Amino acid sequence: MFGSKTLALQKRAQEIIPLGVNSNFRYWGDGITPYVEKAKGAYLWDVDGRKYIDYRMAFGPIILGHSYDDVDQKVIEEIQKGILFAMTGELEVAVVEMIIEMAPAVEMVRLACSGTEATMHAIRVARAYTGRDLILKFEGNYHGFHDHTLWSTYAPVEAYGNRRSPIPVPGSSGIPKSMREFIITLPFNDFEGFERVMRSYGEQIAAVISEPCQGNCAAINPQDGFLALIRKKTEEYGCVFILDEVKTGFRIANGGAQEYYNIKPDLATYAKALGNGYPIAAFGGKKEIMSIIGHGVAQGGTYTNNKPGVAGAYATLSLLKSKPILKTIEHRGQRLMDGLRDIFEDNGFPVAMTGYPAMFSFSLGMDAVTCQRDWALSDHVMYLNLVEKAIERGIMPDHDPREPWFLSYSHSDADVDETLNVYAEIVKEVKM
C-alpha cells in the first residue's frame, strides 16, 4: 500500500521505538503504517512523495487546515518573545476569555497540554468537590490514557458481559486491579440501565463522564434525550456531569456540543480543535466547582502555558469567531456524508451514517447503531477493504473503522467531489 521509503523508515523506527510509532493509534501494521513527510491545507504527503486528501486531520485537531498561515504567523510572532515561563501572560487570559464566551456552560477555565490531562484533572476536581470516588463512564467512550477511565474502551464487546450488569474491562495491562473499585460502565444510549444504576449508586458517584458522541467508536450519536437524562440524574444525585468535548469542542459548533444540544454540564474538557494542532487543552465549568482548585485541590503542569499552544488557540478561536468556518465545514461535510450514503445504498449496501458533517463515520451492513455493542456487528472487513483501496487512489481516512472522518476548513468542494468519485469506483469494485 505504501512505497519503499515508508517500509524502510518503519523498519528503522521499530528498532528504537515500540511499534515504530510514538502513539499506538498511529500503528496500522507492518508494511501498512504510513509515515508523513509534510502536510498543507487538506493534503498530506508521505515519505515516498505520494499526495493524499487527508480525512484523519491528526485525529481531529486540524480544524482550519494543516500549516494554516494565520495560525502559524501568530505562533511565530509570539514565540519570538519567549516560549515558556514560570508565570502567567495576558495571552493565556485572553484565550480563557474566548473559551468562556464561546462555551455556554463554562465560567472558569484551567489550561492543560492534552485531552488526557484535561479529563484526568476534571475527574480529580469532581472527586474533590463531591467527596466521592466512583466514576461512571460508557462503553466505547475514550477519555484519554490515564488509569481512571481507560476501561471498556477497545475490548471485544463479548468481554463486557450482559448489558444489564456490564463488566468493566481494563484497556491495558498495567492498570492496577484496585482501580476497578472506582469505575462503573454502561452501554452508551442505555436509558433504562443508566436510570437503574443511578438509583443504586447515584449517591456514591462523583462524576458521570461522557462524550457527546462516541468519538472513538464511529462517532455514534446520542439518542434524543440521552444527554438530557444524564444532566437530570446527575443533578438529582449531586454528581458532577463531565462532558468530554475533546473531539466535539470548537468543531461541531463554536460552542461545541453544549451549543449543539443546548446542554449545560458541570465541567467540560477540550483539546484537539482548540489549537489547530498546537499542544493545548483546557477544562472548565461552573465557578463554584472550579474555584476549589488551589484550595486543597492540586492541579498544574510546567507546559500548560506553552506559548505555541496558547498562541495557536488564540489565533484559532479568533478565526472561528470572526468567520463562518464551521458553517463552511458543515456544508461540505454534509455533501460528503450524503454522497457516501447514496453510493452505498445505490449499490445495495446497508449503511448507518453517524456523527456530524465535521466528524462522521459509517457502519456497513447496519441500518442503525446506538452503542459499541451494535457497532461490533458491522462489517469491519468491508470497511477496511474500502479504506485500503481509497488510500491507493489518494484518499486517506483512518485505517481503524472506529475513528471518524474529520474535515477542515481547507477541504474544498473539489476534494469532496474527488472523494465521492473514488468511493463510487471502489464500492463497485467490491460489489463485483
Global pTM? 0.97
Active-site option among 142, 356, 409, 423: 142
52 pLDDT higher than 90: yes
Average pLDDT, the chain: 97
Minimal CA–CA distance to 379: which of 370, 369, 394? Answer: 369
What integer pLDDT is reported at residue 45 of this predicted model? 98
| 1 — pLDDT class (breaks 50, 70, 90) | confident
pLDDT of 172 reads 96
Is 142 noted as a catalytic residue in this protein? yes
pLDDT score at 91: 98
- pLDDT, tens digit, 9 for 90 and up, residues 332-369: 999 999 999 999 999 999 999 999 999 999 999 999 99
pLDDT in tens, 151-174: 999 889 999 999 999 999 999 999
Q: Which of 233, 247, 272, 307 is catalytic?
A: 272
C-alpha cell, 343: 453510493
**Selected catalytic residue, list 46, 54, 190, 244:** 244
Residue 214, C-alpha cell as written in the block: 462516541
User: What's the pLDDT tens digit per position in 312-322?
Assistant: 999 999 999 99
Give me the domains of the chain, ranges plus CATH numbers: 4-67+324-431 (3.90.1150.10), 69-322 (3.40.640.10)
Rounded CA-CA distance 124/370 in Å is 29
Residue 432: is its pLDDT beyond 90? no
> Tens digit of pLDDT for each residue in 195-222?
999 999 999 999 999 999 999 999 999 9
Told to judge if 48 belongs to the known catalytic residues of this protein, a careful annotator would answer: no
C-alpha cell at 219: 462517532
The pLDDT score that the predictor gives to residue 8 is 96
Q: Per-residue pLDDT tens for 248-282?
A: 999 999 999 999 999 999 999 999 999 999 999 99
